Each structure stands twice: as structure tokens, then as C-alpha cells.
Amino acid sequence: MSIDTHAPYYEELECLLRCAEQADAISMARFGALDLHVDTKPDHTPVTDADKAVERAIRDEVAVAYPRDTVYGEELGRDESSGRRWIIDPIDGTKNFVRGVPVWATLIGLQVGEDIVASVVSAPALGFRWFALTGQGAWMGKSVEDAQRIHVSNVSALADASLSLSSLSGWKERGNRDAVIALTDDVWRLRGYGDFWQYMLVAQGAVDIAAEPELDLYDMAALVPIITEAGGRFTDLDGHAGPWGGCGLATNGLLHDEVLQRLH
């Protein structure tokens, strides 16, 4: 199967991929730069000149292609939706970026109404890019012409499942760290791939469960179509679908209800 070029929002997907190309060029030019400028935001997380430059470039591209659409970005403003909204995390994994760890990516999702209909996650230092279009599957590759379709795993038992978490501290604040630790005891394998990567590994079928207790819309929007078009499920920790709940659980679908019950 290949993507139908006449499918709804195909042109927007092409715009997403153009944005990813620009983002990759900007971020890779600054990755490891000795003069990288790093500030600390009010929430005590870092922001670099690369974060801002990437978001600015994406905003410029969207403004030319779709001037009536609004934008919700991590660094440069968070507009309400006008019916169509582009949701941007210019560098997801900024702490990794600052420290020279190659696990970071640009995340862009297109919201139409209440749905995220297309998205791209591009991790140039890893050499990977993932994208999805509603009804057209999830894909891994640099372009529509050079991509392979991806699918979640068919693991159906926790004892056989691979779980990835970003940290344990947020679970303590949520009040269910003991439940998380108990879950880690019952799965086959625990790893901490973290940030966007653990979710993309779920979409690829390499990991079966990924969860985080505290996330913003820009952390999740681009992940949702890729997970769901790959055959998985993405909800908040109360089981509500989509990136709207301030937290995230992604699974291959087969394990989702059991994990929700364990973590609720």
C-alpha cells in the first residue's frame, strides 16, 4: 500500500514534510555548536536558540501555505484553534539536545476540528522520520516516495511486553508511582527511551507500552496519528482518546485497557 495522493489533507502532509526538512537543517546545524545559546524558562526547562529558530521557520512556512490557520507552539505563542491549527514542538528533548544526546525531534501535528489528521516526527540526529495521514497509515522514511509502512506489535500479555518510561518522578507527584513500579515488575522488559522516541517505537512494534504522567498538547499532538494509524491506541491516563488530557498512554491496543487499569 502507498499513500493516496488524492486523500484529504495530502497537501498538508506535504507541507508537514517540507517543514520537517527545514527544521532538520536548522537543528542539526546547531546540534553540538559551541556557541549554542541556552536559557531557562519559568518552568525550569531549557530553551535554545535552535528551538526558537526551528519554530519560527515552521511558522513562516505555514503562514505562506495556509495563512488563515492558527499555530500552537511551545516557544513562540499558543493560539486557540480557528478550526485548523498547527501544533509544534520545535525540539522535543531539548535537554538531550543541549547535552549532545541524539534523541530529540521536531514534532508537528495538524488539528482540524477536534482531530489531529496528519503529523510528522523528525529525528535527524537518529536519522529517522515518521509521519501519518488519517486513513492512510503510519510510515517511516524521509518522504512519501521513500517510506515503509509501520505497525504496532501483536503482544497480548504483559509478561511478554516491553515498557518504556521517561522517568519516575512525575508519577510520584501524580500519586501512583507504586503502581508504575509494580507494572515494571510484571512486564518482560523495561527501558527508558523517553520523550517522542518511546512512542515511535510503539508505532513500529519495537515497544508495546509507553506512558508519561505530565505532557502538554505540543508534546503529544504529532504522536497521536502515528500511533493510531499504526494500529495502536493513544489516550490520557483516564482513557480519553487523543492528546487533550495532559498525560499520555500509548500501547499496541491489545494491552491498553489492562495497563489503564493498572495505572489508574
Q: Which residues participate in the annotated binding site for Mg(2+)?
A: 74, 89, 91-92, 219
**Residues annotated as binding site?**
74, 89, 91-92, 219
Contacts 24+ apart (CB under 8 A), 182-187: 182/262, 183/158, 183/259, 183/262, 183/263, 186/158, 186/159, 187/158, 187/159, 187/161, 187/162, 187/163
* Residue 50 burial (C-beta neighbours within 10 Å; 0-12, 13-18, 19+): buried
Residues 220, 174, 182: CA angle, nearest 5 degrees: 95
Distance (Å, whole) CA 138 – CA 152: 10
What ranges in the chain are assigned the alpha helix state H? 10-30, 49-65, 94-99, 169-174, 177-186, 195-204, 217-220, 223-229, 256-263
